[in-house]
């Protein structure tokens, strides 16, 4: 157990060292969602209305926070697929280290960078006029729910990364992730969509987190909290065993 923590921390530091070596990439990763906020908030946002009333940018920002968490799948996928494809995973498996460390190191590093990304997004939100209108406790709960979603999609990224072992399939993952991102309440109310799209969007896990955080921040379009707790829990319950199984299959 002691070694599991030790080795996990070594792996976390490895990921953080990567970031330090690629400052341009981390700036791009952090700024991309900011760009989306500017695009949707200002270029397209003029024509958007919020079902039930309210300012569109107040509606948009919590959706963008949740979407940023979802995009984390891509980071996790690329890192795991690169290690697996290049034989780095094999080297780790041939060392007398805790087998869990590769995953725990990844998880901690990804949650840390996503927390940083969220911080940048909150700053961006404040800069474009988004505010929270609730207690600090409610706002912090919203942040925790966002990171909870990030934790859940981490496992999707790990599973797909182990499954493919090919970082070039990142484009395929993006093709999967983007429709999930847009077919949700992140950018527009499902009530304003055609019925079948609205239903699909309503049941999107991303919508659950977006709506719950809206309510907790006191922004328009809010929903109840419990789906934002349950959806990530369900995803984790499915993808943790799948990831473990896929990791074991490396020994076949």
Tell me how far, at minimum, the Cβ of 107 lies from another protein, in Å. Answer: 17
What stretches of 22-166 show up as alpha helix (H) in DSSP?
23-38, 56-86, 88-94, 101-127, 136-164
Q: Among 28-36, 49-57, 91-99, 187-195, which window interacts with another protein (CB under 8 A)?
A: 91-99
CB distance 181 to 70 below 8 Å: yes
Minimum distance, C-beta of residue 175 to another protein, in the bound complex (Å): 26
Query: Dihedral (C-alpha) 52, 64, 115, 231: value to the nearest 10 degrees?
Result: 70
CB 111 within 8 A of CB 154: yes
User: Is 95 an interacting residue with respect to another protein (CB under 8 A)?
Assistant: yes
Nearer to another protein, 99 or 129 (CB): 99
Residue from 48, 54, 92, 240 binding another protein (CB under 8 A): 92
Report the 10 Å Cβ neighbour count for 12.
Answer: 20
Q: What is the C-alpha separation between 29 and 226, in angstroms, rounded?
A: 30
**Contact code string over 43-82 relative to another protein, x by CB under 8 A:** ----------------------------------------
Q: Is 195 in the site for another protein (CB under 8 A)?
A: no
Question: Rounded distance, CA 202 to CA 184, Å?
Answer: 7
Out of 46, 53, 96, 194, which residue is the one contacting another protein (CB under 8 A)?
96
What is the crossing angle of helices 56-86 and 23-38, to 10°? 150
Residue 14 sits in the site that holds another protein (CB under 8 A): yes
Q: If binding is defined by CB under 8 A, does position 129 make contact with another protein?
A: no
- CB nearer to another protein: pick between 230 and 250: 250
Interatomic CA distance for residues 241 and 26, integer angstroms: 30
Calpha distance 60→148 (Å, rounded): 20
**Nearer Cβ to another protein, position 7 or 211?**
7
Q: Which residues bind another protein (CB under 8 A)?
A: 3, 6-7, 10-11, 13-14, 17-18, 21-22, 86-88, 90-97, 101, 250-252
């Amino acid at each position: 157990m002691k070694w599991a923590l030790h080795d996990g921390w070594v792996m976390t530091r490895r990921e953080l060292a990567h970031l330090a070596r690629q400052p341009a990439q981390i700036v791009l990763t952090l700024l991309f969602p900011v760009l989306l906020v500017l695009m949707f908030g200002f270029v397209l946002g003029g024509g958007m209305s919020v079902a039930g009333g309210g300012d569109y940018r107040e509606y948009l920002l919590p959706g963008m926070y949740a979407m940023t968490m979802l995009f984390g799948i891509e980071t996790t996928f690329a890192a795991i697929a690169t290690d697996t494809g290049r034989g780095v995973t094999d080297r780790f498996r041939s060392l007398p280290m805790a087998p869990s460390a590769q995953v725990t190191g990844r998880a901690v590093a990804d949650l840390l960078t996503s927390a940083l990304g969220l911080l940048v997004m909150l700053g961006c939100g404040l800069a474009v006029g988004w505010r929270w209108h609730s207690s600090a406790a409610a706002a912090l709960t919203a942040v925790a729910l966002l990171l909870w979603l990030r934790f859940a999609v981490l496992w999707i990224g790990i599973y797909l990364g182990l499954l493919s072992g090919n970082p070039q399939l990142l484009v395929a993952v993006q093709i999967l992730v983007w429709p999930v991102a847009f077919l949700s309440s992140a950018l527009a109310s499902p009530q304003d969509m055609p019925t079948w799209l609205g239903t699909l969007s309503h049941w999107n896990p991303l919508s659950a987190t977006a709506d719950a955080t809206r309510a907790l921040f006191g922004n328009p379009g809010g929903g109840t909290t419990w789906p934002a707790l349950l959806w990530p829990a369900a995803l984790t319950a499915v993808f943790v065993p799948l990831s473990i199984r896929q990791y074991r299959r490396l020994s076949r």
